[in-house]
A and B are shown apart, each in its own frame.
Chain A
Amino acid sequence: GESVGLHLPTLSVQEGDNSIINCAYSNSASDYFIWYKQESGKGPQFIIDIRSNMDKRQGQRVTVLLNKTVKHLSLQIAATQPGDSAVYFCAENISGGSYIPTFGRGTSLIVHP
């Protein structure tokens, strides 16, 4: 079946560097994408979302890029901080679906001070 996946299970960066977390999706009907952050022992927390009619969306220190041609999205975190260490999930919604997103497996971001 079609699913949301991630390229890298673990990403290690130095404090202050920029981080890029990638996500691939295979369903061309997906039109809404969300990034979540999950800290150890907690539930996922919404970071940012993007619709398929957009290529880029910026938040506070985060930017999501969507490339519909290759069905790829990325989450960029500027000036990564130790508090950014967590597992990051991308999730997709499909037009006409249930508004309940499908989650990928997650990428663990480790920030070294």
Chain B
Amino acid sequence: NAGVTQTPKFQVLKTGQSMTLQCAQDMNHEYMSWYRQDPGMGLRLIHYSVGAGITDQGEVPNGYNVSRSTTEDFPLRLLSAAPSQTSVYFCASSLISGKSSYEQYFGPGTRLTVT
């Protein structure tokens, strides 16, 4: 298993540009989520999905869109990049059904800079 993969690892955007951060998992996990991590801060939830076709907003959803057309993929779209979106973005997945532990598996992160 590759686990959770994210592309790209690094990205520089100009203000106003749009882009999609890719996330994929090969563990057949129902739950997938996107977090951003800023210096000295914990992880803040942007959007999450409990299964294909179902998404919901987290703590900081503004400026981001998601979709979940398949179990494996959960892309994060920045509609019009702003300097405030400079951050490290982590995708995570977890298996809920039939489990008592809800540990999340995280990808390696995408470091995004918006100038």
Stretch in A11-19, A61-69, A75-83, A98-106 touching the partner:
A98-106
Q: Knowing A44-B90, A89-B42, A89-B43 touch, does A101 contact B104 (C-beta < 8 A)?
A: yes
**Nearest-neighbor residue (CB-CB) of A47 within chain B:** B103
Cα distance A9–B58 when bound, in Å?
A: 25
Is A74 at the interface (CB under 8 A from chain B)? no
| B108-A42 in contact (CB<8A) | yes
Task: Give chain A residues whose Cβ lies under 8 Å from the Cβ of B107.
Answer: 43
Cα distance A99–B106 when bound, in Å?
A: 15
Task: Give chain B residues whose Cβ lies under 8 Å from the Cβ of A51.
Answer: 100
| B33-A100 in contact (CB<8A) | yes
**Nearest-neighbor residue (CB-CB) of B9 within chain A:** A41
**Nearest-neighbor residue (CB-CB) of A90 within chain B:** B42
Q: Knowing A98-B50, A100-B45, A103-B43 touch, does A49 contact B101 (C-beta < 8 A)?
A: yes
Cross-chain pairs A/B with CB under 8 angstroms, 22 sampled:
A32-B102, A43-B4, A43-B107, A43-B108, A44-B43, A45-B106, A46-B103, A46-B104, A46-B105, A49-B103, A51-B100, A89-B43, A98-B50, A98-B56, A99-B96, A100-B58, A100-B104, A101-B104, A103-B42, A103-B44, A105-B40, A105-B41
> Chain A interface (Cβ within 8 Å of chain B)?
4, 9, 32, 34, 41-46, 49, 51, 89, 93, 98-106
